[in-house]
Structure 1
């Protein structure tokens, strides 16, 4: 389990699906609202909003919820979210990047710092670990969309830079500024993606043992359970055998 493909694995492992689903919808709604505020409220005219709406649809978020989140962008509801990035180290020095949308920087910073300190890590300064990652576009498809050859052919045709396929699904990497165009081309050939977003791809990955993995997963769970945290990225690689033991 690599650092960029952990989310649904953690979701499956933890259970409590209804609670997780509600939290996911809340985070998707926040991203939609922020995207709509930053540009046009029309997904066809706003690439970031289009990606956010597509991500919400891929998670079966109701259309009414999506429209409500867009409508909030034009209303003076007192919510003014800003994007914040935190960088730090998990157990065994694993590099971690946390992206958040928050209306209270002090609250979010305190929560993130506490999560690191209580789970074998420490929060670093801005830029502490991001130099070891590449900022790229990431488009994810389920394994059911087709075999590796089919997805690779579609990705090359769409202008993607790299494809990683496994039994869990397909991760298609693009240049950051080409994400919208590649996602649109892939949608035409493969259908709607499960996710299309900007991502942090580690330049090198660190394989972790069972003990480290258990503490690391606890850290990531704690971070992702925070309402303000949108995504968590890391340069770790956890083998299937270790994941089996973790249950």
Structure 2
């Protein structure tokens, strides 16, 4: 009984950690958007997008409003968006997206995470060619009628559409991301998340033990406060 309770407690804390990390990531997205184009969503498409993604994560409205207010303050730090590249153990390429107020600190920490977990940080362009930058739009499948909208979605830039019982995912080319956003806004369709991701062009098969080594580095990077997302090509 005690062991079962410990497992449940571990899962609960892990879920809270993921939620806290997601809220922090959205908070930085909001800060960057406000610094770039102001605090009014109607005049700031990037802020509208961040607020929509916050809603998809069930981030409380008061937290979103507080993040906008903080970002509007002159005292709020400026965040820079930077991407680092490298290899995890067994030659698995990684793209590490960060939002930081101190790039010197961030690059040092990211390099340390790579070296302490059997990886190696690379130069700009060292692994980016193994990924494609794509728009990824995730929906509750019960809230989007694919039979009615599929042709319109393709006209709006949908390159691929995947559906299962839990999620409907639309992929676009990087250049069509804004076009799809405008189409969804015009139809009043709200995605759970609308983001640009690095999608691997090929995938790599590893043993379970080797995968664990790779994922240990990925999880370490993801736990860093400056890291927004980590992409890899594990199958």
**TM-score above 0.5:** yes
**Residue 218 (structure 2) aligned to one of 213, 217, 220:** 220
**Residue 138 (structure 1) aligned to one of 136, 139, 144:** 136
2:56 maps to 58
Number of residue pairs the alignment of both structures matches: 226
Runs of 4+ deviating beyond 4 Å: 12-15, 143-154, 187-190
1:198 maps to 196
**Residue 67 (structure 1) aligned to one of 46, 65, 68:** 65
**Which whole-Å deviations, capped at 9, do the CAs of 1:15-47 have from their partners, x for residues lacking one?**
522233222212211111111111232223222
**Based on CA coordinates, which of the two structures has the bigger radius of gyration?**
2
* Cα 1:190/1:233, change in 2 over 3 Å: farther
Query: Could you tell me how far 1:120 is from its partner in structure 2?
Result: 2.4
Structure 2 residue ranges without an equivalent (≥5): 1-9
- Contact preservation (8 Å) 1:36, 1:49: yes
Q: Judge which range, 124-133 or 160-169, deviates more.
A: 160-169
1:177 maps to 175
1 or 2 for the larger relative contact order (CA 8 Å, sep ≥6)?
A: 1
Query: Could you tell me how far 1:189 is from its partner in structure 2?
Result: 5.8
CA distance in 1, matches of 2:213, 2:97: 20
CA distance in 2, matches of 1:154, 1:133: 27
**Which whole-Å deviations, capped at 9, do the CAs of 1:144-176 have from their partners, x for residues lacking one?**
546876775563253312223345523211132
Normalised by the length of structure 1, the TM-score is: 0.80
Q: Judge which range, 124-133 or 184-193, deviates more.
A: 184-193
2:160 maps to 162
* Cα 1:142/1:212, change in 2 over 3 Å: farther
CA distance in 2, matches of 1:139, 1:95: 24
Q: Judge which range, 142-151 or 167-176, deviates more.
A: 142-151
Query: Could you tell me how far 1:50 is from its partner in structure 2?
Result: 1.6
- Contact preservation (8 Å) 2:133, 2:196: yes
Q: Judge which range, 107-116 or 175-184, deviates more.
A: 175-184
What root-mean-square deviation, in Å, do the aligned CA atoms of Structure 1 and Structure 2 show? 2.6
CA distance in 2, matches of 1:225, 1:151: 38
* Equivalent position SS for 1:25: helix
Structure 1 residue ranges without an equivalent (≥5): 1-11, 238-247
2:7 maps to none
Q: Judge which range, 209-218 or 16-25, deviates more.
A: 16-25
- Contact preservation (8 Å) 2:31, 2:68: yes
* Cα 1:48/1:87, change in 2 over 3 Å: same
* Cα 1:91/1:155, change in 2 over 3 Å: farther
CA distance in 2, matches of 1:23, 1:192: 22
1:33 maps to 31
CA distance in 2, matches of 1:158, 1:131: 26
Normalised by the length of structure 2, the TM-score is: 0.84
